[in-house]
Structure 1
Amino acid sequence: MFRGEGLRIIRTPIRAPRANAICERWLGSIRRECLDRILILGAPHCRAVLRAYVDHHNQHRPHRSLGHSPPMLSAQPTDATRGRIERRKLLGGIISEYSRAA
């Protein structure tokens, strides 16, 4: 599959988690923040849960490199002291996203 896309596979050494630290950190985050807290009911359910978690992680979670702002921050400046804050629960309440009410 990967070779068909023109990608080269590089194998990491066995029992050397530091050789692939970024991937190990990502897998640990998925386990701690998501998979350890929800009962997975099969492969389709697992894919849906992981899709929701990845969307939250990449689009809505604050990123240090962006000044602790989420990538999907609205372009419209808002007054941070006015308006109601709305909470959106994901994955049965495991993850919460917050935004100002319109």
Structure 2
Amino acid sequence: MLFSARFKAILECSGIEILLTAYRAPNMNAFAERFVRSINSECLSQIVFVRQASLDRAIAEYVAHYHDERSHQGIGNEIVSGTAPQRVGEIEVSERLGGLLNYYHRRAALWPRSSIRTLRAWSGVSRTCRFPGLRPYNRNSIDGSPGI
């Protein structure tokens, strides 16, 4: 058996069902292999963990970002959660894990315009910074000025 009895008990206690696949055949579970590669390169290899709790928090933050906030190139750079993108409102950048993971979204158009920065780093909630009047970068501009 690949796993020790203790590790197997931890997985089963967490509600994870162990399925055996062929030895050295990563294509049998390509989705899991891709997720492991992504979390290792984008998160776990970038942080030094001193406690189990900080590792657990980083994994939880990354999973939330992976499923709900990142744009997916395979579906036209749309968000994986399937929510319709807003077309009006100020552009905001939100961060997770102290700025290691960033994503951009539009603030609801009905909210008052302000330059308030809400900082909630390491509290389990993403950090949000609002930039009023920020427009998308104009690729056609020679000097890189904001787009229309």
- Secondary structure of 2:78's match? coil
Report the TM-score, using the length of structure 2 for normalisation.
Answer: 0.53
1:40 to 27, 49, 60: 49
Q: Is there any run of 5+ residues in structure 1 with no aligned partner, and where?
A: none
Q: How many residues align?
A: 95
Q: Is there any run of 5+ residues in structure 2 with no aligned partner, and where?
A: 1-11, 112-148
| Bigger Rg, which one | 2
1:90 to 88, 96, 106: 96
Query: Which runs of structure 1 show a deviation greater than 6 angstroms over 4 or more consecutive aligned residues?
Result: none
CA contact (8 A) 1:60 1:97 kept: yes
C-alpha RMSD over aligned residues: 2.7
- Secondary structure of 1:15's match? coil
CA contact (8 A) 1:60 1:72 kept: no
Could you say if the C-alpha distance between residues 8 and 52 of structure 1 is closer, same or farther in structure 2, counting changes exceeding 3 Å? Answer: closer
Of all paired residues, the percent bearing the same amino acid is 31
Higher helix share: 1
Report the TM-score, using the length of structure 1 for normalisation.
Answer: 0.72
